[in-house]
Amino acid sequence: MYMAVDWRELDIANPTQEHAMLREMVRSFVKEEVEPQALENDKNEKFNVELFRKLGEYGLLGISVPEEYGGAGMDATAVAIVNEELSYSDPAFCLAYLAHAQLMVNNLAQNGSEEQKKRILPKVCSGEWIGCMAMSEPGYGTDVLGMQTNAVQREDGQWLINGNKMWITNGVIDDKKTPADIVWLYASTGKDDSGRTEITTFLIENGMPGYSVGQKIYDKSGMRASNTAELVFDSCVVPAKNVVGNPGESMSHMMRNLEIERIGLAAMALGIARRSLSAMNKYSSEREAFGQEIRNFGQIQRHIGESWAEYRAIRAYVYDTAASTNLGLAGNRLDSDGVKLFATTAAKNIADRAIQVMGGYGYVGEYVVERLWRDSKLLEIGGGTLESHQKNITRDLVKNHEAINR
């Protein structure tokens, strides 16, 4: 393992040689394969499924999965690196990656049975199967315990699931309404002794009776090159072997995986911030007004200076949080909420400043930043709204006041 000679030389974003090599590989892949297709697929609202499957060839779809199941066996810092680098070019393509690799694949690697992991992980790590996670519903998002999708166990041991899931990234694979190959589904399975809703996790496979796509959602403001769908479960029959863990115990699955999801989303924001800053900095040296480069004007300097400071703050917070996150354990909610709360809004603001600096050029698709600005808004909503993060942080600091002084 690579170790810095002096602690002052440690790069928190590339703490080991393995991490640095991963970043170099993904950055090269993005330049050669992702960047050339990003603008066109945003215009056409097309998910590049062929390019997505290629991520499996590079070992990225199972980045956090143990090698014995076909993964790369890496950590939360590696997850952040991949999400940052992909989002520098195409946040929508990265969102599809995150929905698969973090929301579904990592969830299964951390919480599935040995039989489930051996049967499914090789397929989702290779890209043979494309997966998603289904939590939100038409009338329920942050209010998870209000979900209406329910599952009842039959006498033969199989489960019958009824309900609809909404806003599901990767829920549909193409315009023919082909559903995701595998869904990590949360459903209500009754109430506990205190009257609290019990949530159970099910693995839904394409071809199971009663599982279908209700609609593919078009005309989104941003993230247009990823697919979003409503999924329908109409008396969907699921075998007992596809229940993850014990019935009623899925809140622990959910909370633990939300931490790496939020780190991934914050890393996506970091990629957007870096690209937006790079674009406005370059443009301000090329564009002249009143006989001089516009970077000489005070207001342009303000936009660039504030963006640089916020970008560096995002970078430090993302990789500090990733370094302290154990993928197999919960307990880092304070910072996973905090980093997403800060990074997503800061990235949106940096993209907005880039448009302002670039003027009319910043407002058209060819110059990228308007797409980054549209894409960034979703990051303030998906994986937990800003308001939910504010609530969680405030509650956690009441319980752990000393976190402020650590």
pLDDT in tens, 240-276: 999 999 999 998 888 889 999 999 999 999 999 999 9
Residue 152 one-letter amino acid: V
Residues 113 and 145 in one domain: no
The CATH number of residue 20's host domain is: 1.10.540.10
Query: Which element (helix H / strand E) includes 184?
Result: strand 182-191
Overall average pLDDT of the 54-66 stretch: 97
pLDDT at position 129: 98
Overall average pLDDT of the 319-343 stretch: 93
Take residue 243 and report the two structure tokens written for it.
Answer: 């229940």
Q: What is the pLDDT of residues 167-179, one digit of tens each?
A: 999 999 999 999 9
Residues 216 and 354 in one domain: no
Tell me: pLDDT of 357 over 70: yes
Domain containing residue 75:
7-126
In this structure, is residue 89 part of a structural domain?
A: yes
How far is the CA of 319 from the CAs of 11, 179, 342, in angstroms?
10, 34, 13
Q: What is the DSSP letter of 179?
A: B
Residues 286 and 217 in one domain: no
Overall average pLDDT of the 331-350 stretch: 96
For the packed helices 250-286 and 369-379, what is the interaxial angle rounded to 10 degrees?
160
How far is the CA of 186 from the CAs of 149, 158, 264, 284, 348, in angstroms?
8, 16, 21, 48, 31
Residues 262 and 401 in one domain: yes
Give yes or no for a contact between 71 and 149, defined as CB atoms under 8 angstroms apart.
no
**Cα–Cα distance measured from residue 126 to residue 109, given in angstroms and rounded to the nearest whole number:** 14
Q: What is the pLDDT of residues 202-240, one digit of tens each?
A: 999 999 999 999 999 999 999 999 999 999 999 999 999
Residues 335 and 365 in one domain: yes
Q: Between these two residues, 98 and 8, which has the higher pLDDT value?
A: 98
Q: Is 18 a catalytic residue?
A: no
Put simply, whether the predicted model's pTM sits higher than 0.85 gets the answer: yes
Kindly indicate the confidence band of residue 341, based on its pLDDT and cuts at 50, 70 and 90.
very high
Residues 135 and 35 in one domain: no
Take residue 84 and report the two structure tokens written for it.
Answer: 């940052």
pLDDT at position 5: 57
Q: Where are the alpha helices (DSSP H) in 158-295?
A: 250-286
Q: Which residues partner with 257 through β-bridges?
A: none
Q: What is the residue-averaged pLDDT of the chain? A: 94
Which entry of 261, 310, 370, 380 is annotated as an active-site residue? 261
Q: What is the pLDDT of residues 128-179, one digit of tens each?
A: 999 999 999 998 877 777 889 999 999 999 999 999 999 999 999 999 999 9
The 10 Å Cβ neighbour count of residue 331 is: 12
In this structure, is residue 23 part of a structural domain?
A: yes
Give yes or no for a contact between 124 and 182, defined as CB atoms under 8 angstroms apart.
yes
Overall average pLDDT of the 317-342 stretch: 93
In this structure, is residue 77 part of a structural domain?
A: yes
Take residue 353 and report the two structure tokens written for it.
Answer: 């400043």
